[in-house]
Amino acid sequence: MSSEPAPNDLSSFWMPFTANQAFKKDPRMLVAAEGVHYKSQDGRDILDGTAGLWCVNAGHKNPRISEAIKAQVDELDYAPTFQFGHPKAFELANRVAGLFPDGLDHVFFTNSGSESVDTALKIALAYHRGRGQGSRTRLIGRERGYHGTGFGGISVGGIVKNRMYFGSLLSGVDHLRHTHDPERNSFTRGCPVYGGELAEDLERLVGLHDASTIAAVIVEPMAGSTGVLLPPLGYLRRLREICDRHGILLIFDEVITAFGRLGTASASKYFDVKPDIITCAKGITNGVIPMGAVVVTNNIYESFMDHADAPIEFFHGYTYSGHPIAAAAGLATLDVYREDGLFERAADLAPYFEDTVHALKGRRHIRDIRNLGLVGALELEPRPGAPGARGFETMVKAYQKGVMVRVTGDILAFSPPLIIERGQIDQMFETVAACLDDVE
């Protein structure tokens, strides 16, 4: 191979979570974005039905966020946060803490959802050890959970393809049963009525392993990447009660639900269930610059401060934790959410969104429809002998017709920027339904 890559040579970039060979034969190349639209390389407007990857909640190229980043580059481009600090990281931590439930007031910065998850799991283990309960080493996830792609995240996660290629993963992990029950709950509007009792599966694991060996349980309060699986009514509260009964920390992975997706600052607020640790990322900077965060209770933070056996209370961090440009982007993003009332806007739009997606019931290939806040999913009947093919082809066809959707197997997920208009919601769902008419 020549050392000079040819223009438009797609071979070197090994694309993440992508069918590389298929993509490189028929690329879907995005070259610009504004508001709720991308611009494709062939000059078409593509309605962003997925807020990028569930992150661009305020829409693309928001001028206040862009300006804040430009100003920050000129002021302080990088500063370490190991043994030094810069003001915006502290300011952003205060602002982020203020958005989550009372009593979760301490924030550890990361660069992604996966890093937030690994950080949260490490906090849970070190917290128990610091309190003299070092036998609590077991981590409990849930089948079909998605917690990013670090070894911690795939170990507690429950998606087989994210696990099966990667050896023995973390030891000492177990999984709750998943809550997806299409037999009883299909076409439910909002949270499923049946399945709250599945939280009791945690008691089974406590019975098997003993609570004294369990550090934490991690779940997505609303699971997106695995195909939009909503918590059955009462499920999260019961999980909270069982964790309390046994001294187990409860971690909510809010990487996609924090920052307005459900019409509230967090899913914890939406469901009125307070976990001990929240992981977030994505919408914290509107996706413009990578950043994640782990928000913990005062009890956990103070326990580290009281029980630390070294001057550095938590031996963990990333070169870019609280990066100045990400911090500036985060502060501007939170300003936009507040000044433009975007969480309230999402809450106001949610019933219209729900009616529009459920109006597709009966359309070709649709086996189930689910929704919550500004999240929707169409689950398709898989094509016999070719699971996932129908979903993938529908995604490609929708792109050709000007709408970006996300596909997981045969589940199409919708999570548009919170600034989407009603007419654009109609366009998004109508376009996809028309594609289903065309796809075999």
Ligand X SMILES: Cc1ncc(COP(=O)(O)O)c(C=O)c1O
Segment contacting ligand X (CB under 6 A): 73-81, 140-148, 382-390, 424-432? 140-148
Sheet with 45-48: list strands edge to edge: 30-34, 37-40, 45-48, 403-404
* Residues composing the chain: 440
Residue 423: burial class (beta carbons within 10 Å; 0-12, 13-18, 19+): exposed
Q: In 159-211, where does DSSP find H-type helix?
A: 160-163, 182-185, 201-209
Rounded CA-CA distance 72/78 in Å is 9
Q: Which amino acid is at 273?
A: V
Is residue 147 close enough to count as binding ligand X by CB under 6 A?
A: yes
- CB closer to ligand X, 252 vs 301: 252
Which residues, numbered 4-43, are part of the site for ligand X (CB under 6 A)? none
Which residues, numbered 380-439, are part of the site for ligand X (CB under 6 A)? none
Measure the N-to-C terminal CA separation of the chain; round to a whole number of Å: 40
Q: How many residues bind ligand X, per CB under 6 A?
A: 14
- CB closer to ligand X, 205 vs 294: 294
Q: Which H or E run includes 119?
A: helix 113-130
Is residue 285 close enough to count as binding ligand X by CB under 6 A?
A: no
Binding-site member from 198, 236, 256, 267 for ligand X (CB under 6 A): 256
- CB closer to ligand X, 163 vs 184: 163
Binding-site member from 146, 320, 337, 429 for ligand X (CB under 6 A): 146
Angle at 186 between CA 183 and CA 188, to 5 degrees: 140
- CB closer to ligand X, 30 vs 360: 30
Which residues, numbered 212-231, are part of the site for ligand X (CB under 6 A)? 220, 224-225
Is residue 174 close enough to count as binding ligand X by CB under 6 A?
A: no
Q: How far is the CB of 121 from ligand X (least distance, A)?
A: 12
Is residue 57 close enough to count as binding ligand X by CB under 6 A?
A: no
Whole-number Cα distances in Å, 413 to 65, 145, 254: 27, 16, 17
Q: Which two tokens stand for residue 273?
A: 């269930």
Which residues, numbered 107-126, are part of the site for ligand X (CB under 6 A)? 112-114, 117
Please compute Rg for the chain using Cα positions.
22
- CB closer to ligand X, 15 vs 386: 15
Is residue 148 close enough to count as binding ligand X by CB under 6 A?
A: yes
Interface residues with ligand X (CB under 6 A) are 112-114, 117, 146-148, 220, 224-225, 253, 255-256, 281
